[in-house]
Structure 1
Amino acid sequence: MGLLATFNITENLTLGRFIWSVLALIITPFIYRIVYSLYFDPLARFPGPWYTSSFSSFIALISVRKQEPEFIHSLVKKYGSTLPIRISPTTLFFPRPSALKDIYWTPSLNHKTKLYGTGALGPPHLFSTIEAESHKQLRRALSNAPWTIGQLKKKWESRFDTLVTLFIHKMNEHAAADRTICISDKVAQFAADVMSMISFGEPFGCVANQRDEKRILENWRQGLPFFGFIARCRFFRDQVMNVGFLASWFLPTFDQAYGMGWLMGEADRQVTERERQNAEKEFEGMPDFMQQYVHFFFYHYCLDARYQDNTTLTPLQKRAHVTLLIQAGADTTATALGSILRFIASNPSSLHLAHAEIEKADQAGLLSTPIQYEETRQHLPYMVACIREGLRLNPPAPNLFGRVVPEGGKVIDGVFVPGGTEVTTHAFTTQRDVGLYGEDAEEFKPERWLKSEEVMLEYEASQFTFGMGPRVCLGKDIAIMEMYKLLPEIIRRFDIEIEAKGSYIVSGGVAYNEGFLGKFHARKTG
């Protein structure tokens, strides 16, 4: 018995040593990573939580939990805004608006981080192009597309009018039935129809049918947590997503019956059919992003966009860019529409002033039906201020739009940053900067945009809602036109009874509104 007991003790000790050895092998790399990150890494001198400074998985998990804006904003309150804050082992976040110009207007910082190259947004396109020169050439090839407000007013506004008129008609039906609707979803359906009209020539029919056709919006939102995780977790992004058969499990495919996969397949079908038609005769239809025809000349958009060497886009690029318009512009613009409408409707003084301004302009004969872009810009300054203030507080895409510091390092906002570092800002936080906007920076106060021209210009220079510099959002003017037309028309036609304000949610760096419920009540207009 004594010998057996000794054997059991020896066996237990050996097993215990083995377990501790395994644990040591697992734990040691983590301890080394933490110690190196906090004391020996070139970024160790910058403030930030030990866990984000050591592991990129933490900011990835925070994104999945839909808490990224609040978390980053809390870091500024904890560490201040004098120095950039380390939010991952390789990433510095610059809190002050003064850093925007240094990061996004500097040519040597126009190289994007790998956040963009995950493949989660489908085939490579303008937005996901990482290298600066490649982006420059591709953007130039697509530069004649209907991006600018001048082209939109001249060639597209009447088609926007048709959708606005249909939207108002449908909302009148809901009002007549005293029906509670999800207001944020209704404006999202409008935005989806605008972008599909621009992309394919005809809207999907979301407004006409009062539903999310092919579950485009629903599926987009469901995919955001995954996009946010893989974009932020370096191991998953750089290792797992580079294994072809593994990546294919996670990414949408052309043969899916709904959502992003269906959209990619629809882009393929639309481009293929248009090219077949063009082979038979010259295109003479209504303009869309694929192409436009004016008199005897083609003013080519996507299908025949050309690089400087006169080569065209690849077949995959053509389909990717037609898809990109809807991906990038539908739910983001919808977020802006829903957030601004909620801010106005839930602030009685703002709603009263907006109503009064529109009624005054109406009585003076200054407004068309529906309201035109230029009429809002020239005659409805308070409405414009509401739009700017809503965008400031609820930016539609408060993502970590990172850039890579070139070899040799760079001074950004007065701070030297080593080469290879990923640097970024965050619209949700920079647009709440107390130093610029004052102690009421987190409050909805449209009148701040009606101060002196000098102050307004300073505010405008600090807005990162649509990005800035050579990679500013191409669809910015499309979104602005939607807001300047639909929002004042809604305020003009309806009183809004809010039943639930809902929530502004950020997932994967992209925002959407959820649960903004209420009723429209028709107003008498002169």
Structure 2
Amino acid sequence: MLSLSHLPLLLPALFLYLFVRRILDNLFFHRLSSFPAPFYLRLSSLPLALISLFRREPEFLFQLSKKYPPSTRAIRISPNLLFFPHASALKSIYWSSTHNHKGSLYGTGALGPTSLFSTLPADDHKTLRKSLGGAHWSVSYLKNEQEPRIDSLVTSFVAQLRNFSEQSPRGEAISMGDKLAQFAADVMTLLVFGKPWGFIAHDRDEKRLLAAFRESLPLFSFAARCTSFRELILSSGLIRSLILPKMDDKTGSGYLASQGKLAVARREKERDEQLPDDGAGVRDYLDYTLDARDSKGEPLTRAQKEAHVTLLIQAGADTTGSALGSILRFILQDPDCLEKVEREIRTAEERGLLSTPVLYEETKQHLPYFVACIKEGLRLNPPAPNLFGRVILEKGGTVIDGVHVPQGAEVCSDPYTVGRDPEMYGPGAEAFRPERWLGGDEKRKAELEAASFVFSMGPRVCLGKEIAYMEMYKVLPEIVRRFEFDVVEPGKYVDRGGVAYNRGFKVLVRRRN
């Protein structure tokens, strides 16, 4: 007869039994057991979590896709996760309204309060996006209403680089990746809160917003990939409260969340008391958030408003800064490309086609090669090389890229791998070649544009992608126009859990004559 004295022996035996049973199920009886996969990725989600934790995920998945023949359309990279490495799968996964339910990561609370980005059900997301979307996210609105404000930051950034070049006669290198990230953070705080936080003016990472965000990525990368960690650890509200940022933090994401909370309360009070604005005369994205209404015509909840304005800064600052740094590095490290860019800018300037600073539409119309460099840099170094997971909910499953996927499975792709798909980009898919975006073949250019996965696509495409393009089309041509750069350290494109940044990208800066 069993008694309490047997527990020390029974508990380890029980855990061992459950562990072995789960392993055998993942190997032989799981709904995805027939899909090709390395042995260790079949066993558990832990191997992929460790690969992500050690900053190797994009390169690992790309190399993994090359190990299988082109006929392999889906690879099992975790017990319940299928990875589609070809661009031909993107439309089926991300444009289908029936595949718009996000994976389990987004419901854990690891991303903070539920926001537009972390809403799981497709219908809930559709309703919230309709509430928060609108004409103020369009290119035309940005050009007409917000571009002059961004111009002021571009001018300040140019002045900062000029001062640095003049005050560093010994040739001191500048961390260009960090500086561009600070510029992007100032743009987002300006657009959301009405005033920049002063990253450029003070020449520093204000409240360690960028540094703290990057420091949080190891935890996020592990949680994003390890199912057991999410189910056993992050499911606990107590544990989340201990390891996630807090409102009383003096720096980082916790401080940002507290500022979002204060800003919403302050702006609502001003509206209730009908106080005049500060004279700026331009509405910011906090205003539009407070104006948002749900399907019943009711304002969003206070928590939804706070989560949204915080998300806008988190999603738009460091990622756009990473894109800016990567694009500039690609241009500077390719002498032929740099010469073409400089000649194109010089020709446009001699013809009187460029304002000071350069306008978005001027870059689009008169600097086509520079635009091609931006698109090519984003293709090779996407700022968010995430595994954008979707759950298959259709009864009986569905077909993606010619592969039948059973109900309940998660499917994903990632911008880094599909951006190097030889079926889409040819045998030179891994090379930086801006010319692929140019030429007279309109059908081919349309295919490339349709396959762009940098800002996701479909119903959940990044809401602020036009803001990111606005920054790229303005600040990059302007600084190449005004300065010469010598690369001291090319640094490295680093990924942590689906978010990338540039580490150690250092240059010497000189004013052009």
- Alignment TM-score, normalising by the size of structure 1: 0.92
1:184-216 deviation digits (Å, cap 9, x = unpaired):
000000000000011100001001111000000
SS of the equivalent of 1:513 reads strand
User: Could you tell me how far 1:175 is from its partner in structure 2?
Assistant: 1.0
Q: Does structure 2 conserve the Cα–Cα contact (< 8 Å) formed by 1:216 and 1:263?
A: yes
Instruction: Look up the match of 2:401.
Output: 413
User: Could you tell me how far 1:30 is from its partner in structure 2?
Assistant: 3.6
Q: Do structure 1's residue 475 and structure 2's residue 464 form an aligned pair?
A: yes
Instruction: Look up the match of 2:421.
Output: 433
Instruction: Find the partner of 2:260 among 246, 267, 275.
Output: 267
Instruction: Look up the match of 1:189.
Output: 182
Q: Following the alignment from structure 1 to structure 2, what is the Cα–Cα distance between the partners of residues 303 and 19?
A: 58
Instruction: Look up the match of 2:318.
Output: 331
Q: Following the alignment from structure 1 to structure 2, what is the Cα–Cα distance between the partners of residues 97 and 449?
A: 16
Q: Following the alignment from structure 1 to structure 2, what is the Cα–Cα distance between the partners of residues 211 and 450?
A: 38
Q: Following the alignment from structure 1 to structure 2, what is the Cα–Cα distance between the partners of residues 212 and 475?
A: 22
Q: Does structure 1 conserve the Cα–Cα contact (< 8 Å) formed by 2:73 and 2:86?
A: no
Q: Following the alignment from structure 2 to structure 1, what is the Cα–Cα distance between the partners of residues 117 and 421?
A: 27
Structure 1: runs of 5+ lacking an equivalent = 1-17, 292-300
User: Could you tell me how far 1:35 is from its partner in structure 2?
Assistant: 2.8
Count of residues paired in the alignment = 499
1:281-306 deviation digits (Å, cap 9, x = unpaired):
15545311111xxxxxxxxx111310
SS of the equivalent of 1:429 reads helix
Q: Identify if the C-alpha distance between structure 1 residues 145 and 224 changes in structure 2 by more than 3 Å, giving closer, same or farther.
A: farther
The AA in structure 1 aligned to 2:378 is: L
Q: Following the alignment from structure 1 to structure 2, what is the Cα–Cα distance between the partners of residues 499 and 22?
A: 58
Q: Following the alignment from structure 2 to structure 1, what is the Cα–Cα distance between the partners of residues 10 and 358?
A: 73
Q: Following the alignment from structure 1 to structure 2, what is the Cα–Cα distance between the partners of residues 275 and 88?
A: 46
Q: Following the alignment from structure 1 to structure 2, what is the Cα–Cα distance between the partners of residues 120 and 147?
A: 27
Larger radius of gyration: 1
SS of the equivalent of 2:250 reads coil
Instruction: Look up the match of 2:36.
Output: 47
Instruction: Look up the match of 2:433.
Output: 445
User: Could you tell me how far 1:24 is from its partner in structure 2?
Assistant: 6.0
Q: Does structure 2 conserve the Cα–Cα contact (< 8 Å) formed by 1:290 and 1:302?
A: yes
Instruction: Look up the match of 1:515.
Output: 504
Greater mean deviation of Cα atoms: 223-232 or 190-199? 223-232
Instruction: Find the partner of 1:288 among 284, 289, 294.
Output: 284
Q: Does structure 2 conserve the Cα–Cα contact (< 8 Å) formed by 1:95 and 1:429?
A: yes
Q: Do structure 1's residue 92 and structure 2's residue 75 form an aligned pair?
A: no
Alignment of 1:354-503 (within 5 A): 354-406=341-393, 407-451=395-439, 452-503=441-492
The AA in structure 2 aligned to 1:40 is: F
Alignment of 1:13-412 (within 5 A): 26-81=15-70, 82-144=72-134, 146-178=136-168, 179-281=172-274, 283-285=276-278, 286-291=282-287, 301-406=288-393, 407-412=395-400
Q: Following the alignment from structure 2 to structure 1, what is the Cα–Cα distance between the partners of residues 319 and 145?
A: 23
Q: Does structure 1 conserve the Cα–Cα contact (< 8 Å) formed by 2:248 and 2:258?
A: yes
Q: Following the alignment from structure 2 to structure 1, what is the Cα–Cα distance between the partners of residues 29 and 74?
A: 18
1:448-495 deviation digits (Å, cap 9, x = unpaired):
111322221111111100000010000100000000000100110111
Greater mean deviation of Cα atoms: 363-372 or 453-462? 453-462
Q: Does structure 1 conserve the Cα–Cα contact (< 8 Å) formed by 2:489 and 2:504?
A: yes
Q: Following the alignment from structure 2 to structure 1, what is the Cα–Cα distance between the partners of residues 149 and 496?
A: 32
User: Could you tell me how far 1:21 is from its partner in structure 2?
Assistant: 8.5
Residue identity (%): 52
Q: Following the alignment from structure 1 to structure 2, what is the Cα–Cα distance between the partners of residues 49 and 23?
A: 29
User: Could you tell me how far 1:276 is from its partner in structure 2?
Assistant: 1.3
User: Could you tell me how far 1:25 is from its partner in structure 2?
Assistant: 5.1
SS of the equivalent of 1:423 reads strand
Q: Following the alignment from structure 1 to structure 2, what is the Cα–Cα distance between the partners of residues 323 and 448?
A: 37
Structure 2: runs of 5+ lacking an equivalent = 1-6
Q: Does structure 1 conserve the Cα–Cα contact (< 8 Å) formed by 2:110 and 2:240?
A: no
SS of the equivalent of 2:90 reads helix
1:225-252 deviation digits (Å, cap 9, x = unpaired):
1111112111221232121111111111
Q: Does structure 1 conserve the Cα–Cα contact (< 8 Å) formed by 2:133 and 2:463?
A: no
SS of the equivalent of 1:439 reads coil
1:96-135 deviation digits (Å, cap 9, x = unpaired):
1000000001110011111222323221110000110010
User: Could you tell me how far 1:79 is from its partner in structure 2?
Assistant: 2.1
Q: Following the alignment from structure 2 to structure 1, what is the Cα–Cα distance between the partners of residues 259 and 304?
A: 14
User: Could you tell me how far 1:31 is from its partner in structure 2?
Assistant: 3.6
Greater mean deviation of Cα atoms: 337-346 or 30-39? 30-39
Q: Following the alignment from structure 2 to structure 1, what is the Cα–Cα distance between the partners of residues 210 and 84?
A: 32
Q: Does structure 1 conserve the Cα–Cα contact (< 8 Å) formed by 2:390 and 2:411?
A: yes
Instruction: Look up the match of 1:10.
Output: none
User: Could you tell me how far 1:517 is from its partner in structure 2?
Assistant: 0.5
Greater mean deviation of Cα atoms: 23-32 or 310-319? 23-32
Q: Following the alignment from structure 1 to structure 2, what is the Cα–Cα distance between the partners of residues 66 and 29?
A: 31
The AA in structure 2 aligned to 1:233 is: C
Q: Identify if the C-alpha distance between structure 1 residues 247 and 517 changes in structure 2 by more than 3 Å, giving closer, same or farther.
A: same
The AA in structure 1 aligned to 2:477 is: P
SS of the equivalent of 2:317 reads helix
- Alignment TM-score, normalising by the size of structure 2: 0.94
Instruction: Look up the match of 2:495.
Output: 506
Q: Does structure 2 conserve the Cα–Cα contact (< 8 Å) formed by 1:95 and 1:425?
A: yes
SS of the equivalent of 1:92 reads strand
Q: Following the alignment from structure 1 to structure 2, what is the Cα–Cα distance between the partners of residues 151 and 282?
A: 26
Instruction: Look up the match of 2:4.
Output: none
Q: Following the alignment from structure 1 to structure 2, what is the Cα–Cα distance between the partners of residues 208 and 19?
A: 63
Q: Does structure 2 conserve the Cα–Cα contact (< 8 Å) formed by 1:118 and 1:230?
A: no
User: Could you tell me how far 1:145 is from its partner in structure 2?
Assistant: 6.3
Q: Does structure 2 conserve the Cα–Cα contact (< 8 Å) formed by 1:145 and 1:302?
A: no
Q: CA RMSD in A?
A: 1.7
